[in-house]
Amino acid sequence: MVFRKPPDGGWGWVIVVVSFFTQFLCYGSPLAVGVLYLEWLDAFGEGKGKTAWVGSLANGIGLLASPVCSICVSSFGARPVAIFSGFMVAGGLMMSSFAPNIYFLYVSYGIVVGLGCGLLYTATVTITCQYFDKRRGLALGLISTGSSVGLFIYAALQRALIELYGLDGCLLIVGALSLNILACGSLMRPLESSDSPPPEKTCSDKVPDQYFVYHEKEKTVEENISILEKGYIDEKCVNNVPDSKQDSILNKNVLSSINVNEKDTYKKKVVEQTNLCKQLAKKKWQLYLNYWEETMVLFKNKVFSALFVAIFLFDIGGFPPSLLMEDIARSADINEDDYHVPLISIIGIMTTVGKLTLGILADFKWVNTLYLYVTTLVMMGAALFAIPFAKSYLTLAMLSGILGFLTGNWSIFPYVTTKTVGIEKLTHAYGILMFFAGLGNSLGPPIVGWFYDWTQEYDTAFYFSGFCVLLGGFLLLLAALPCWNACTNQNSKLPPNTYSYKVASSA
């Protein structure tokens, strides 16, 4: 398969539109799960920490399984994976409407829907990158807003559906809406069919050298027969031996020659197969060793190590508000009549604004993306500390907007990673960071819920969340300070092919 040059337009804009709606349809309900969270608390009567696992799994399992998702898209293509994942998301949502207990939701909503979302995210990003090169940043920015718009709309939609049809009816309708992912996936036409296909390979070129041994038996027998026939004719010309006697001698020679050659060929084939298996095992083992060596080299970069801690703590402390903000308002005894817009919807729309604004700022040469990212972490920590003091809808709405805007720092996180480890190691480093981001997403809401179960109030929980985010921000800032880098360079040299983040340079 030979791929054409990315057209940076044409059908690529169709890909952008369908990818936007794919992320809108698949991530709308999981990101707005806070509305469902309240209903599950009342329906099953479980603790807040145990119930929070449902939403945290749905949002974290896709990041945790990101290596598997990448392998699936690479092996089968974006279109088949998108269609299959559409069935997963829709089926998981519909199954959740029949959940008899919270443990069933862990599987149907947390794992099935979460894994489907992870596969769809990988598929949409992959197919978009194939169609765009020069405008890739714009295309990826447009499709990434689909999840935020989905959060904004689904928060109000799910609340209205619950009032009209109940929790079970809401999940059935949302699952039916998710079937539109199948239509979007069918439009993800792969970019292939080059205008000038490569010349067709001959049969011998298509077969690897190590497999020629399997045909050696037939080849050897044919050669031996031809040689013996030639020898038979020559010998018959020289010696006047009767034909019947000559034929019997020839048959014996052919049979003995074939038996000997069969044994030799079989032994040779076994040796070749054994050597091939040994070589494959050795290559696989070498790949694993190289992967771990490269991982160790990455963690020797102090800025990368601090970035790994920061993203993990950020997701532990920064993700719970998007899941629990509605329950925070209910715990503060805020009258539902005062609700003009769901708090989760405010978070969603401001996340979209934050992604676009921070992404634009990161493109300015005078802006250092690492300092910008640290600033968002410090501000988010301060906003989390302020949540316990918010006792009205207006203050909670303002804090929701601030938290949503700062959550948009996901759009600059790839910039920070690239400047830290270099473009050559971006894929490896980003995969590691996303795994721990998913782990933080999965652990954050249950931890906050457990704090509430122990103390019967959210104050301590959000003090803990704010402390986690602030700690990650200060550790990252400390690792990137010029004086720290100077001391490190004097004491030890960085391993080859690693990069130290120079905060004085433009990002």
Note the pLDDT of residue 354.
87
Rounded Cα distance, 25 and 62, in Å = 15
One-letter amino acid of 7: P
Please give the structure tokens belonging to residue 208.
Answer: 């690897």
Q: Check residues 268 and 245 and name the one with the higher pLDDT.
A: 268
Q: Indicate the DSSP class of residue 133.
A: S
3-state class percentages of the chain: helix first, strand second, coil last, to nearest 5: 80, 0, 20
One-letter amino acid of 463: Y
pLDDT at 176 over 80: yes
Strand, helix or coil for residue 334: coil
Q: Indicate the DSSP class of residue 107.
A: I
Note the pLDDT of residue 19.
92
pLDDT at 298 over 80: no
Which residue has 């918010």 as its token pair? 390
One-letter amino acid of 55: G
Tallying the residues shown for the chain, one arrives at 507
Q: pLDDT-based confidence at 193, cuts 50/70/90?
A: low
One-letter amino acid of 110: G
Listed in order, the ranges of the chain carrying CATH 1.20.1250.20 are: 1-194, 276-485
Q: What is the mean pLDDT of residues 221-227?
A: 46
**How many C-beta atoms surround the C-beta of residue 297 within 10 A?**
18
List all residues 6 or more positions away from 195 whose beta carbon is below 8 Å from its beta carbon: 4
Query: In Å, what is the CA distance from 247 to each residue of 50, 220, 236, 252, 274?
Result: 87, 21, 10, 9, 40
Q: pLDDT-based confidence at 149, cuts 50/70/90?
A: confident
Note the pLDDT of residue 80.
93
Percent above pLDDT 70 for the chain = 73
Q: What is the mean pLDDT of residues 287-294?
A: 70
Percent above pLDDT 90 for the chain = 24
Q: Tell me phi and psi for residue 182, to 5 degrees.
A: -60, -40
One-letter amino acid of 39: E
Note the pLDDT of residue 284.
63
Please give the structure tokens belonging to residue 136.
Answer: 């890739």
pLDDT at 162 over 90: yes
Rounded Cα distance, 255 and 260, in Å = 9
Q: What is the mean pLDDT of residues 53-74?
A: 84
Least confident of 190-199, 323-332, 343-352: 190-199
Note the pLDDT of residue 120.
92
- Please answer whether residues 428 and 294 qualify as being in contact, where contact means their C-beta atoms are separated by less than 8 angstroms: yes
State pLDDT tens for residues 28-40: 899 888 889 889 9
State pLDDT tens for residues 339-356: 677 888 888 889 888 888
- Please answer whether residues 355 and 411 qualify as being in contact, where contact means their C-beta atoms are separated by less than 8 angstroms: yes
CA 74 from centre of chain: 12
One-letter amino acid of 302: K
Q: Check residues 355 and 271 and name the one with the higher pLDDT.
A: 355
Query: In Å, what is the CA distance from 477 to each residue of 310, 358, 468, 481?
Result: 10, 18, 14, 6
User: What is 276-485's CATH number?
Assistant: 1.20.1250.20
pLDDT at 258 over 70: no
1-194, what's its fold?
Answer: Growth Hormone; Chain: A; (1.20.1250)
One-letter amino acid of 295: T
Least confident of 166-170, 465-469, 470-474, 485-489: 485-489
- Please answer whether residues 46 and 102 qualify as being in contact, where contact means their C-beta atoms are separated by less than 8 angstroms: yes
Note the pLDDT of residue 34.
85
Q: Check residues 244 and 384 and name the one with the higher pLDDT.
A: 384
Q: Of 194-203, 289-298, 444-453, 463-472, where does the model show the most confidence? A: 463-472
Rounded Cα distance, 374 and 370, in Å = 6
Q: Indicate the DSSP class of residue 495.
A: P
Question: What mean pLDDT value characterizes the chain?
Answer: 77
Rounded Cα distance, 153 and 391, in Å = 25
Which residue has 């992912």 as its token pair? 181
Note the pLDDT of residue 487.
42
Least confident of 36-40, 311-315, 421-425: 421-425
Q: pLDDT-based confidence at 15, cuts 50/70/90?
A: very high
Q: pLDDT-based confidence at 438, cuts 50/70/90?
A: confident
Q: pLDDT-based confidence at 253, cuts 50/70/90?
A: low
